[in-house]
Structures are given as structure tokens and as C-alpha cells.
Amino acid sequence: MMDAIQILRQLKEKGIRFTPQRQAILEFLLSTDTHPTAEEIYHHVKQRFTGMSLGTIYNTVKMLKEHGYIMELSYGEMSSRFDGNPENHYHIACQKCGRVFDYNRSFPDLEQEMESHQGFQVQGYRLEFFGLCSACLQAVDTVKTAEAEAE
Amino acid sequence: MMDAIQILRQLKEKGIRFTPQRQAILEFLLSTDTHPTAEEIYHHVKQRFTGMSLGTIYNTVKMLKEHGYIMELSYGEMSSRFDGNPENHYHIACQKCGRVFDYNRSFPDLEQEMESHQGFQVQGYRLEFFGLCSACLQAVDTVKTAEAEAE
DNA sequence: GTCCTTGCAAAACGTTTGCAGTTCA
DNA sequence: TGAACTGCAAACGTTTTGCAAGGAC
């Protein structure tokens, strides 16, 4: 897996400048598995770069996405989240707390679909699960137990 | 399959009023397979209801969605599209023209996933394909042929 | 020195909300 | 009649854009 410096060196060959802001944003994205929003990246990176602006976050993630180094996960209601792993993989979003987790499963008959064409040229797909994460599930169970005990 | 009037009668029993605007919106959604955006619904329905406002479209589709009569398809970049068929089924969005088509395929290993739990309680998923529709594919081929002939 | 990038602020976009007036039941 | 709904406009949150100043190379 490439690190931030290696990626920025590759980008430099395309005429894209190596800036400390870009390095900080990319390092954060590569170091976390929390799939942060632009706002979350901003708050994290601002701790070291006091002058950092949200516009720079958006510009940078857009550029990194266009060059295939990160992935954008867009959920209808909420703001986009960014994933330092650009390989096709799945996620599950907790309906309660909103956190997004990697969901490492394989679906052979779905994955084979990429080879079939029927009038369409299928270029890709996005599969997103939603449910309740273990923490939220436990919280619900606790409430249920308390309710049962109160009766 | 229920028609607009039947659906609105069911909703009336929940205290939701039967208005001509709602009837027009729902009839349009049930009659088309183009997965229109709120804006597209608005332009269509406004032809008969000159006074119709976009706010009413949003209010109505939100209400219909909450009661499970329609489905919202949210794509990151573009605005949401609405589908008069609320059953779980798949779609493919053309990367070029932006149109969204039904994609009637079955993925048993994916569909079985709903039964499994591993720390998570999986409540559902969204699977969206993207590619090129036949019309856009043909346009690309035409360009390629013209380019080849020009050489 | 060049021009790409930054920070800032304003604008754009889709969507939601507040409110006064209207309509359904 | 009275609550629910409409149309309109203003507000909202996210993302993009314009521009002058700053920094990479």
C-alpha cells in the first residue's frame, strides 16, 4: 500500500504540486478507517494547520478522487464520506449513529455481473448496506431489557 | 398493482388528505419508468396545475416515501430520483446521459446476505450499477467508426 | 518568476421550513 | 369549522467558485 508521500510524488509528475496541506489530508485519510466527511477531515487537519480552509479540503479530495487515490461514498441524506482505500469494497452504514464501516464480504454472482452486457456496458456498481452496528444494537438491547424488567 | 386513487384512499385512513396535487404527482410516478427528479415531476405536473410549487413536490414525495409507496434513489452528484415501484429492485445509471433504467437481475448470494448477522444487524442495502446505456454506447461506437474512417 | 494553490467569502445547488391563505373533510 | 395542505419565499447545509495573496518549483 502506498503512503501519502509516494502518492504525492506520483501526482507531481502530472504537474500537481506537493503541498503540506495535501500531505496532511492524505495522511489522515490513509491512517483512518472511519470514512470521514469533509468537515471531519477539516477539523482534524486544522489542529496542525490553523489556517486550513474547508474549500481546500474539498479541492483536495476532489483531485485525489479524480486520480483514483481515494473513494467518495455518497449517501443521499448525509454529506459524502471519503475512503483512503480506492479498491472496490463494500460498506455498511449504521442507521442509528451514522458511522460507516467496511463490510468485507464477497458476492460472486454480483461480481461476475461485470462481465455480462445486455444492451448496457456495465462499468461498475456501488453496493451499500445499512443496518445497526454492534454498539447501537447493544444499546437497543439494553433498553429492551430495562423495559422488560420494569414491567 | 395499486393505482393512485387506491393509494390515496389508504392514506386518507391515516388522516392524510386527498388533494388533486397529490393525485397528479402520484399518477405521474406510477405511469413512468424514467425515475424522474423532483424538478422533472414539477415540470410535468405544472402543465396541468399552473400554480403547482416545487415545495409541494418535495413534501409529497417525502410523505409517499415515508409510507412506503415510492422509493427514492439518491446519487451523490445529481439530485434524487423517484421510483413509483417501492419493491427492492436494481437500477443502472448511464454515466453519459444520466438516465436511470431498471436493471432486472437477481443476485442470490447477495440477497441471502440479509439473513446473516455478524455483529451487525443488516436491515437492507442499496445496489446501483453504472455504465453506458445502449443509446450512448451506439453514439460512442459511431464516433469511433468515424474516427477510424477518417484515418 | 511563473503559475498553481491557498484562504476567504460569496454563490450555487438541491432540499427544507415558515407562514399566510386556501381547501378538504 | 378546523386541521391539513398549498404556494411562495426565505433559510438551510453541502459543495463549488472567484479572486487576491502566498508558496512550490
**Are B23 and B8 in contact, with CB atoms under 8 Å apart?**
yes
Q: Do B133 and B97 meet the contact criterion of CB atoms below 8 Å apart?
A: yes
Q: Is the pLDDT of residue A148 over 60?
A: no
In the structure, what pLDDT confidence band is assigned to residue A93 with cuts at 50, 70 and 90?
confident
Contact A108 B113 (CB under 8 A): no
- Residue A112: closest CA among chain B residues belongs to which residue? B107
Q: Closest by alpha carbon to A5, among A35, A33, A21, A26?
A: A26
Cβ neighbourhood burial of A16 (10 Å; 0-12, 13-18, 19+) = middle
Nucleotides of strand C lying closer than 7 angstroms to a protein CB? 4-10, 13-18, 23-25
In angstroms, rounded to a whole number, what is the distance separating the alpha carbons of residues A136 and A146?
A: 15
pLDDT tens column, A34-63: 999 999 999 999 998 888 999 999 999 999
Q: Is B139 in CB contact (< 8 Å) with chain A?
A: no
pLDDT given at position A31: 96
Question: Are the beta carbons of A131 and B123 closer than 8 angstroms?
Answer: yes
Are A129 and A99 within 8 A, CB to CB?
Answer: no
- What per-residue confidence (pLDDT) applies to A127? 81
Given this model, what pLDDT does residue A151 score? 46
Give contacts of A144 with chain B, Cβ < 8 Å.
none
Give yes or no for CB of A60 within 7 Å of strand C.
yes
- pLDDT for position B151: 45
pLDDT given at position A71: 92
Phi, psi of B46, deg, nearest 5: -65, -25
Record the cell numbers describing residue B23, joined without a space: 393525485
* Contact between chains at A127 and B132 (C-beta distance less than 8 A): no
Print pLDDT tens along chain B (151 aa).
789 999 999 999 999 999 999 999 999 999 999 999 999 999 999 998 888 999 999 999 999 999 999 999 988 767 899 999 988 788 888 777 778 888 888 888 877 777 665 666 676 677 877 777 766 666 666 655 555 555 4
Q: Among 1.10.10.10, 3.40.50.2000, 3.20.20.70, 3.40.50.2300, what is the CATH number of A1-86?
A: 1.10.10.10
Give the residue extent of every domain in chain A: 1-86, 88-151
pLDDT, position A37: 96
Whether residue A65 is predicted with pLDDT greater than 80 in this model: the reply is yes
Question: Which among B86, B80, B90 has a CA at the least distance from the CA of B40?
Answer: B80
- For chain A, what is the mean pLDDT? 84
Residue A105: predicted pLDDT = 80
Q: pLDDT grade, residue A4 (50/70/90)? A: very high
Q: Name the DSSP letter for residue A11.
A: H
How far is Cα A77 from Cα A70, in angstroms, rounded to an integer? 21
CA distance A49 to A135: 33
Strands (E) across B59-145 are located at 71-73, 81-83, 90-94, 100-103, 121-132
Q: In this structure, what is the dihedral angle of CA atoms B3, B9, B13, B14, given to the nearest 10 degrees?
A: 50
Nucleotides on strand D lying under 7 Å from protein C-beta: 4-10, 13-18, 23-25
Distance CA B96, CA A139 (A): 45
Residues 6 or more apart whose CB falls under 8 angstroms from that of A37 comprise A78, A79, A80, A81, A82
Could you tell me the CA-to-CA distances from B118 to A104, A107, A112, B9 in Å, in that order?
11, 16, 25, 41
Task: Identify the DSSP state of A37.
Answer: B
pLDDT score of B102: 85
* A131/B122 touch (CB, cutoff 8 Å), yes or no: yes
pTM above 0.95, yes or no: no
d(CA B8, CA B98): 31
The top-scoring range by mean pLDDT among A93-97, A127-131, A145-149, B9-13 is B9-13
Q: What is the CATH number of domain B88-151?
A: 3.30.1490.190
Which of helix, strand or coil describes residue B51?
coil
Do B147 and A142 form a contact (C-beta atoms < 8 A)?
no
